[in-house]
Amino acid sequence: MDLERAYQEAGPKIVGYLVATGADEATARDLLHDAVVRIMRRMNERSEREADNLPALLFTAARNLRKNRVRDDARLTFVDEVRDDDCGLAGEGGDGAAYFVADPVYVRRRLKSALARLPDALRETYTLYQVGERSVREVAEMTGASENLVKVRLHRAKTSLRRLLGDLSTGRSQLHAH
């Protein structure tokens, strides 16, 4: 079965599954498209057995992309307001702490500063993966590191960024803890 036929047959079902698991329809279609692109990039690496079962391969790729997006969104999600107990700029919230609206220029400056504080290998790996939208395999090929080392570097970079930018995150940051 060719990929186009698998996309035509399985695509609507996959989009339905992704919507049922919490994605909006536009995101579900984007995830399906990303899955097709991922499979196309690796078609020459696939065995004949895998090529015969493209609908299942497409479903698995889309499902995994959805899981990755949910996991990544939960880890570092920026908010419009940042809690600051010493700040008197924007009034007080319900808990008596002061909040201010996060300026996009300020957030960009903080992110740039945090990235600059990462060791070179972590910054390069994170930037290629996250900003350059490269796969772990592609980052490994580009940097000469093993895929496992790329995964370790990504984990360390994300952990460092979460620590450095915790006050801008909806995650478990000290500033948001009560």
Q: Which pLDDT tens digit goes with each residue over 109-161?
A: 888 889 899 999 999 999 888 877 888 999 999 889 999 999 999 999 999 99
58 versus 46: which is more confidently predicted? 58
Q: Which helix H or strand E contains 122, and what residues bound it? A: helix 120-126
Q: Which helix H or strand E contains 33, and what residues bound it? A: helix 25-41
Among 8-22, 48-62, 77-91, the range scoring the smallest mean pLDDT is: 77-91
Tally of CB atoms within 10 A around 57:
20
- Confidence grade of residue 88 (pLDDT, cut at 50, 70, 90): very low
Q: Which helix H or strand E contains 19, and what residues bound it? A: helix 3-20
The rounded distance, in Å, linking the Cα atoms of 18 and 80 is: 28
Percent of the chain with pLDDT over 90: 16
- Long-range Cβ pairs for the range 136-144 (8 Å, 24+): none
As given in the structure block, the two tokens for residue 129 are 């993966």
* Contact (Cβ atoms closer than 8 angstroms) between residue 28 and residue 36: no
Say which residue the tokens 């299942």 belong to: 56
Quote the pTM value. 0.43
CATH of 103-168, one of 3.50.50.60, 1.10.540.10, 1.10.10.10, 3.30.70.20: 1.10.10.10
Q: CA gyration radius for the chain?
A: 20
As given in the structure block, the two tokens for residue 82 are 């940042």
The rounded distance, in Å, linking the Cα atoms of 69 and 99 is: 28
